[in-house]
Amino acid sequence: MRIRDRLHRLARDWIRRRQGPDAGAVTLRRGRIYILPTRLGAAFGLMLFAMLLGSLNYANNMGLALTFMLAALGLVSMHACHRNLESLVARAAGTEPAFAGGEAVFRIALANPGGAARADLEASATAAPVPPVSIAAGAESTIDIPVPTRRRGFIVLDRVVVATRFPYGLFRAWAVIHPEIRCLVYPRPLADAPPPPPVAGGAGGGAARRGEDDFAGLKDYHPGDPPRRIAWKAYARSDELLIKEFSGDTEATPVFDLADAPGSDLETRLSVLARWIVDAHARGLTFGLRLPGEVIPPEPGDAQRRRCLAAIARFEAPEPDVA
């Protein structure tokens, strides 16, 4: 197994030196495409060799004709397999950040500028299987490549294998691209994180209070909202949980500060911050973030959640992992 891994590593290094990094879109020319028989193809070749020996030994013309016909079919399938990759255009199509310990998603777009459809195309970066796709003539398809993550910061995808076993699985043709795409990995939210410290004042600096002077309307329920505010009559009519709002409400706006996060080390404290951010977004709150050297003003919404998580992911980030 060690010899096999070493040979695999030598082959990867040789391809990397031969091709170099790939910036932008890459067209899969003949010189970039490699092809070898699969296990099924090797068994097919051995079967043809046995058929040839038997037909020659018994001077069986029908056997020889069948052997040569099957050999011709194998050669045609080899050319079809190679042709299935030729002239495809591959490019990076974005990433989907993940929390540490999850799977970052890298997207590779494959475009087919030719006049024939391409079938059973695969794109992978690890041993994990990725469902194959087929691309019609003149069309484009995007393949999601999941990559496991270990820690926060950046993870770099520096090698993607685009392969096919079309049409009969006798041969595998593949091409290697080196896009060097970076994906951000957020800190994993701490499961048993303590609640954030109470906020002394709202966004305008006033004291946080909850008045119930005048009914102002209804809003969607979020986990953590007080049960006494649930509009039960509206729930009976529509089966939808809503919360009563009053004109006297002044919700304090939290600004999560790294200095307030408990923990024995930086990673634990950042995980606590991640938990506070995720929970605040789930409740529909407006929130901000304060780190040494960076302050993100309070805002609501998913864009704010991503902005704050990205800030703590980049904060004194370790060296990027390579997928």
State the Cα–Cα distance between residues 290 and 302, nearest whole angstrom: 18
Percent of the chain with pLDDT over 90: 58
The number of beta carbons lying within 10 Å of the beta carbon of residue 82 is 16
Helices (H) and strands (E) in the chain, counts: 6, 20
pLDDT > 50? residue 224: yes
Q: Which residues pair with 176 in a beta bridge?
A: 161
List, for residues 91-126, the tens digit of each pLDDT value.
Answer: 999 999 999 999 999 999 999 998 899 999 999 887
List, for residues 142-195, the tens digit of each pLDDT value.
Answer: 999 999 999 999 999 989 999 999 999 999 999 999 988 999 999 999 988 888
Do residues 5 and 12 lie in contact, with contact meaning Cβ atoms separated by under 8 Å? Answer: no
Q: Among candidates 313, 248, 256, which has minimal Cα distance to 281? A: 256
The number of beta carbons lying within 10 Å of the beta carbon of residue 223 is 7
Q: Among candidates 145, 119, 144, which has minimal Cα distance to 134? A: 119
State the Cα–Cα distance between residues 196 and 227, nearest whole angstrom: 21
Do residues 93 and 109 lie in contact, with contact meaning Cβ atoms separated by under 8 Å? Answer: yes
> Parallel, antiparallel, or unpaired for β 242-246 and 215-220?
antiparallel
Q: What is the pLDDT of residue 206?
A: 36
Which of 321 and 216 is assigned the larger pLDDT?
Answer: 321
Q: What is the pLDDT of residue 208?
A: 41
pLDDT > 50? residue 39: yes
Could you tell me the two tokens for 75? 């050669």
CA dihedral of residues 111, 112, 113, 115 (deg, nearest 10): -160
